[in-house]
Structure 1
Amino acid sequence: MKALREKPVPPSSENTIDFLRRGTSVRPASTIPQQGKSRTRLPEGTRIEQKERFFLFRFGKRLLFLIGLVLSVVFLQACSGSAGNTAKVKLTMSAWGNPAELKVYQKAIDAYMKENPEVDIELIPIASDGYEQKLMTQLTGNSGADLFYVGAEYMSRVVEGDAAEPLTSFLNSEESDTSPDAYAEGLWGAAKKDGEIYGVPVDCNPLVMYYNKDLFKELGIKTPQQYYDEGKWNWDAFKEVTTELKKGGKKGYIQENTLQQVESWIWSNGGSVYDDNGQLVLDKNKEAQEAIAFMNSLVQEGNAVYAGTLPEGQGLDAMFLSKQVGMISAGRWLTPMFHEAGVHFDYIPWPTNTGKKTEPVAIPTAYLSVNAHSEHKEEAMKFLSFYVSEAGQTARLSGIGNAIPSVTGIDDIVTDEPPHTDYMNEARETGYAHGTPQSKSALTPGLVNELQDLYEVMLLGKASPEETVEKVVKTIQSMSK
């Protein structure tokens, strides 16, 4: 008789689960071939054919691989997004300044970074001597800091060379912390051309004269303030004071060849290099020519010393600190240094020769610009707008700052130290910045430096005032065409 076939035995659920976990077939121990025994063939429906097992095995591995790949991509994207949110934008800003001034700049930088922790700003100090040359070299080579200070006397070179990013659109947007109408029109100078803004006045520094109160007291000399209170602070009084200082073994005054000082002497006599419309009048203006001759006589007669002849390392600030000179002229930028050194000094307006107590003076102004080649222009413009805004200037200039505000309405932040800080505020209202019609030379790239070289030759005693005026007029005419 034929052997009866056993009834099919379905695989248990436990074996099935085990199969899925291990990716192998489920086979009862009784069906495993053993040596010397015939193989038992499972009934149909009780086994998974080899091809099916292979398919399921490959499919399972691929499925697990795909799931792992997707999870890895999601994880990396999440990490990338997180890193992007915390990565800092790094900006650099170059500026000149003495150690005390650099501390002032840093105040505004720190204030901005505190409110914007995603931004890191590095201040890069560059020596005042040679700053213009180094800056222009960097900008010409499409390098340099993201933001940079620019002197008013060479702002036109920066604009002409397309080195500064246009700012008008941003300053008029909601993203900006300030707006163009917050600044006096007379402060823009060469930073504004054809209605476009390329730099914003960081603050301003109307020229005044400094005098060492202790030195005047020690020598028993009548102070400039006493002359001023009597309504007699004029050229004659200035010459008397510097003569007395010289008798006391000191330098009376240090005269520089900067166009700002030269123009201040010219205006103190009611003279003009340019009229209110920007037309050259120096060749016909006797008051201007007389002022240039007076300035030169101070040096040639020993009442003043030309700064260009001072020993190496002996600038006018060092001379003032060491009581070697009684009077110098500058903006507020020297005030923090003198205050930290404990010098007792005060301001006095520029002496006049018109019968008036004051006349216009030059207003040295620096601008902050954004590098046209910066990789972070948007963030740089945001910081610029804060740095020059009311908030930024308050952070920098409150108390013993290095300038007075270029925006209106916050004059009260400037501490009355020295006592007559108000002289500087008053000078801001009547003075002229480089690039205004009355100080038009700064609008022509390179002209300011050429004129200063001519005045240096005169102050060194190598040219007469008359020869100097003639050369100045010809230089202006030839370079302004």
Structure 2
Amino acid sequence: MFSRSNVIKGVAATSVVDRRTLLKAGMFAGLGLAAAPALAACGNGSSGGSSGGPGLTWAGWDGPPASERFRQFSEKMTGQLGFKVTYQQVVGDYLAKLLSQLSAKAAPAAFYVGDIYMAKLIETKQVLDLTKYLDSGDAAVKLDDFYDGLYQWCRPADGSPGLFGLPVDCNPAVIWFNKDLLAAAGVTADPAAQFAAGTWTQDALTDMLDKIRATKKKGLLIGSGWYDWFGWITTFGGTLFDESGKAVLDADPKSLEALAWLFEQLKSGNITYTGSLPQGQSGDVLFYANQLGSIATGRVILPNVRKLKFGYDIAPFPSLSGKDIMPVPVNTAALSVNANTENQDQALKFLGNFVNAGGQEFRLADGGNAVPSVKGLEKIVTEGDDPAHGKLFNDVAAKGYAVPRAIAGKPTVLTELPLLVDKMFKAGNETPQSFSGKVVQLINGTN
């Protein structure tokens, strides 16, 4: 199992579909049953199930401009692999349409999978185990090519052997900051400079947030999703899960210390909970509007940040030492192969070329909004020195972790955890012990 400084053992993606809606609707109950009406909206399942055909269709959820790049890549693969490759952009409710196609044995030969449904697709044998392909001499990619914290969620939740997807790219959490706003607040050394000097500590961040608050601007935001707050525990040395995948933050002293600091910052107003913002406000919008000093997110905002009229840069999360890059969350999605496709060999060839270094470079170069999930592509995130310390994206991805299997393997936990944390953050009366105790009860299934 993945081990990163005894932080999290056993580890993802952010789905673009609404988790609450999907779980309430009981979407997974339809797997293996008759197709739902949404099937017709997907169309072109000719490469999956029993339909066969000389070509291959694959599906994803990204819209423009990514969809155009996907089509270009499909054309390239058609020439390179010797068979027709067609990209099927699924508009609207991706998961509902995918499940409809899988039920009808008409799904694409390969498709994107998010954290909310990988475990169920594995359990219902809808996706192919990639182990044999990866161990073969013909594979266009090897497992060692990937950062090892990014694919553990693609393994069975019960710990049995197998790997059923590979990360297409990723978005590690870093600290974006407004250089002009920080300077106006009297911050003499920004986070990137402090990290370079080995002084980017918890106290340094607290001091920065104090100064920003004094200007009546917001310093930092936090959400209720696992990606939003797990990093504030692990970056300060906390342990979330033990070797068996059991949540243990309620019994880990460093985790409790990190939570104590977080609650202090929330109480002081240095950090603002996004659930308390007025309707229509969000972290990225506030950052773009010069009203937020820093934001913890991935490279996903780069295309929009480039349009800003103030200086910006990134730094890793602070650490207790002030100089270390610690493990923090990384968003990722996977590409999987339809276990029922008749074009299995073609699908595996396509998958390998989609996620290997060549495929990721083609998809992410020239202003992309994601980070490679494979090693050796530092040049992607340093293009044009924008942001100036873009290399840190790869450094953070190499140390980071995707969604833990203890969460990814329980779709109800993925849904209920942010609801529980939302309730506690809004109440504002939890202690580190009570907060972590409720979280552990939910994750470990003892409530």
Instruction: Verify: 1:362 aligned to 2:329, yes or no.
Output: yes
Structure 2 unaligned regions, length at least 5:
1-52
1:17-51, Cα deviation, whole Å (9 max, x unpaired): xxxxxxxxxxxxxxxxxxxxxxxxxxxxxxxxxxx
Contact 1:444 1:479 survives alignment (8 Å): no
Distance 1:225 1:410, change over 3 A: closer
Whole-angstrom distance in 1 between the partners of 2:404 and 2:221: 25
Q: How does 1:10-159 map to 2 (within 5 A)?
A: 89=55, 91-96=57-62, 99=64, 101-102=66-67, 105=70, 108-113=73-78, 115=80, 118-124=83-89, 145-152=108-115, 154-159=117-122
Tell me which structure has the larger Cα radius of gyration: 1
Partner of 1:299: 266
Match of 1:453 among 419, 424, 446: 419
Tell me by how many angstroms 1:314 deviates.
3.7
Partner of 1:209: 175
TM-score, normalised with respect to structure 1: 0.70
Whole-angstrom distance in 2 between the partners of 1:363 and 1:241: 25
Distance 1:254 1:390, change over 3 A: same
1:439-468, Cα deviation, whole Å (9 max, x unpaired): x43344433333222221122126513332
Contact 2:249 2:440 survives alignment (8 Å): yes
Whole-angstrom distance in 2 between the partners of 1:141 and 1:253: 47
Partner of 1:431: 400
Whole-angstrom distance in 1 between the partners of 2:312 and 2:108: 36
Partner of 2:217: 250
Partner of 1:188: 151
Bigger mean CA deviation after superposition, 343-352 or 354-363 = 354-363
Partner of 1:200: 166
Contact 2:147 2:397 survives alignment (8 Å): no
Tell me by how many angstroms 1:191 deviates.
0.8
Distance 1:372 1:396, change over 3 A: same
Aligned length: 388
Structure 1 unaligned regions, length at least 5:
1-86
Match of 2:299 among 329, 332, 335: 332
Whole-angstrom distance in 2 between the partners of 1:452 and 1:300: 20
Contact 1:441 1:447 survives alignment (8 Å): yes
Contact 1:254 1:305 survives alignment (8 Å): yes
1:223-279, Cα deviation, whole Å (9 max, x unpaired): 222333443322222222223333333221121122133221111221112235544
Whole-angstrom distance in 1 between the partners of 2:271 and 2:101: 37
Distance 1:174 1:227, change over 3 A: closer
Q: How does 1:164-183 map to 2 (within 5 A)?
A: 164-173=127-136, 176-183=139-146
RCO higher in structure (CA 8 A, sep ≥6): 2
SS in 2 for 1:325: coil
Contact 1:206 1:363 survives alignment (8 Å): yes
Match of 2:123 among 160, 177, 181: 160
SS in 1 for 2:416: helix
1:170-211, Cα deviation, whole Å (9 max, x unpaired): 344466422333324332212123332210111233221111
Tell me by how many angstroms 1:133 deviates.
7.0
